[in-house]
Structure 1
């Protein structure tokens, strides 16, 4: 489970009812919802929450570094609350399902010095692609 609500409280971020609901929707393992999905789920908890409030809150959370924006091949951006734990993503090429994965080893360490071209590297993003079990079964 992500610790998003706890992190926001620790930061002293003002948790209005709307912000709290967005954070609650984002809390959990392997959460990668689009803004529209977040809005639909938030409305179930707080019917008066507006789409603009959800978008603004997501923008603030991304700016704070508490939520990651995940973009995949022209699909809608998804929001990942697992911003504090190093991980990579496994994406289904058919349905777009995203799972957090934690491969062994250091992906930065696998880049030889000669391939760094003098860059001071600040991070690594690795995306694994394939078919989820449901999509693989449907294609069989």
Structure 2
């Protein structure tokens, strides 16, 4: 059983067949699927699942804080089931592959006071960009 499914069961989330399939599709490491990709994979497991049901389930998972909505390329939002562990993202500029990364240090503390402009900073999002090994020319 995936970590996401276990977390949802522990929270008492009503587990219909449709919700279970959405959670199963999102299970795993480095998962960053669009809603359409979640729907396509869910249909392969449960042909009668509707696009609206997938969107509703994703919305509920985001509201619960169990899935993050990620936007790394100004295109479609992606859904990240690793909401329980703080992390940043590494994105390939060529193919769009996204990997979860865990930088060392305190990203919030690394912002100098002079650069805070009076803000009380509560959160940091960093996206590292580069070219993945599969896209580097040989």
- When normalised by structure 1's length, the TM-score is 0.93
The answer on whether the counterparts of 2:87 and 2:102 sit within 8 Å (CA) in structure 1 is: yes
Shift of 1:95: 1.1
Q: Distance in 2 between matches of 1:94 and 1:107?
A: 26
Secondary structure of 2:136's counterpart equals helix
Report what 2:56 is aligned to: 56
Q: Distance in 2 between matches of 1:136 and 1:73?
A: 20
Q: Distance in 2 between matches of 1:10 and 1:112?
A: 40
Shift of 1:2: 6.3
Report what 2:121 is aligned to: 121
Shift of 1:118: 2.4
Report what 2:42 is aligned to: 42
Which runs of structure 1 show a deviation greater than 4 angstroms over 4 or more consecutive aligned residues? none
Q: Distance in 1 between matches of 2:86 and 2:40?
A: 28
Show CA shifts across 1:9-54 (max 9, x none): 1111111110010000001000001111111111111111111110
The answer on whether the counterparts of 1:2 and 1:29 sit within 8 Å (CA) in structure 2 is: no
Secondary structure of 2:99's counterpart equals strand
Report what 2:17 is aligned to: 17
Q: Distance in 2 between matches of 1:13 and 1:116?
A: 39
Secondary structure of 1:90's counterpart equals strand
The answer on whether the counterparts of 1:18 and 1:46 sit within 8 Å (CA) in structure 2 is: yes
How many residues matched? 138
The answer on whether the counterparts of 2:88 and 2:126 sit within 8 Å (CA) in structure 1 is: yes
Report what 1:4 is aligned to: 4
Unaligned runs of 5+ residues in structure 1 are none
Unaligned runs of 5+ residues in structure 2 are none
**Per residue, is there more helix in 1 or in 2?**
1
Q: RMSD over aligned Cα, in angstroms? A: 1.5
